[in-house]
Amino acid sequence: MASEDPTPRPLSPLETSALEAVRGRRSVRAFTAEPVPRAVVEQILDAASRAPSGSNIQPWKVHAVAGAAREALSADLRAAHFDPADTQAGAEYTYYPTQWFEPYLGRRRKIGWDLYGLLGIAKGDRAAMAEQHARNYDFFGAPVGLFFTMDRRMEQGSWLDVGMFMENVMVAARGFGLDTCPQAAFITHHRIVRRHLDIPDTDILLSGMALGHADPDAPENRLETERAPVADFTRFHGF
C-alpha cells in the first residue's frame, strides 16, 4: 500500500485567512487608547454568535463597557484590589485546580516568569506583581471591556458553549485588526462588576475580556507563549 503524500495541499485564500486569524490570536496585555466603534463591537459579537451550542440554546450573555462607564468600573475595581479590608472579594467558581501538578504547573510558572522578565519584575517583588495584576482591572488600557455571563441554572455543557462563543469573539476581532485578552481576574470582584453593570444575581459572571488595538511598543506584547505539538496531546485512531 502506497504511503500517503505528506506534502500539504495549497490553501485557498479563505482557508489562509481563517488560519491566520486563529494563529494570530494572543492575549495582549497592553493596548492603545484608540477607540473601537460600537458598530465594530456589534459586528464582532454578531459573528461570534455563530458559535455552536447544545440544541441551539445560545446561553451566552454579554455586557460591553466603554467610556465613562468603563472608567468608573475600573476605578472601583482597582480600589478593591488594593484594599486589604475588602471583604467582598471572592470568586463564585474555581478556575484553577486546588492542587497543581505537571505539566500544568510548569507551564503556568513559565509564562509568569517570562512575562515578569519582559516587564523587569524581579522574583519576590510582590508590590510590582500586585500592580501588574491590577492592570487587569483597567483592561490593560483597552477602550472596551466585555463581560460574559450566563444563567447560573445552566449546566457544564453550557460552559463549553460560552467558551466557544468567547473564542469566536477573539478570532472575529482579528478580522478587524483588533486584539483581545480574556480575563478571569474579574471573577474575584464579581460583586463590583455586577453592581456597575446591573447584572442580576440569577446570572454568573464567567469572564471578562479586553478589546482594542495592541500597543506595538509595549514590552509585554513581545511575550510569545509556547504550545505543545499535536503529537503531545492527540492520539489518532484508524488513520
Is a pLDDT exceeding 80 seen at residue 5? no
Q: Does residue 115 contact residue 42 with C-beta atoms inside 8 Å?
A: no
What distance in Å separates the CA atoms of residue 147 and residue 32, rounded to the nearest whole number?
20
pTM of the model: 0.93
Residue 9: predicted pLDDT: 79
Let me know: does 193 contact 220? Beta carbons within 8 Å: no
Say if residue 235 is exposed, middle or buried (CB neighbours under 10 Å; 0-12, 13-18, 19+). Answer: exposed
> Which CATH architecture does the domain made up of 18-82+137-218 adopt?
3-Layer(aba) Sandwich (3.40)
Given phi > 0 = left and psi -120 to 50 = alpha, else beta, which region is 177? Answer: left
Task: Give the model's pLDDT for residue 205.
Answer: 98
The H-assigned helical ranges of the chain are 13-23, 38-48, 67-81, 104-119, 126-134, 156-174, 190-197, 230-233
Query: 31-90, pLDDT tens digit by residue?
Result: 999 999 999 999 999 999 999 999 999 999 999 999 999 999 999 999 999 998 887 889
Quote the pLDDT of residue 17: 87
Return the pLDDT at 3: 53
Q: What is the DSSP letter of 214?
A: B
Cα 112 to Cα 119, 132, 188, 215: the distances in Å are 11, 11, 19, 20
Instruction: Return the number of other C-beta atoms located less than 10 Å from residue 60's C-beta.
Output: 23
Give the integer Cα–Cα distance in Å for 208 and 44: 16
Tell me what pLDDT residue 175 has. 94
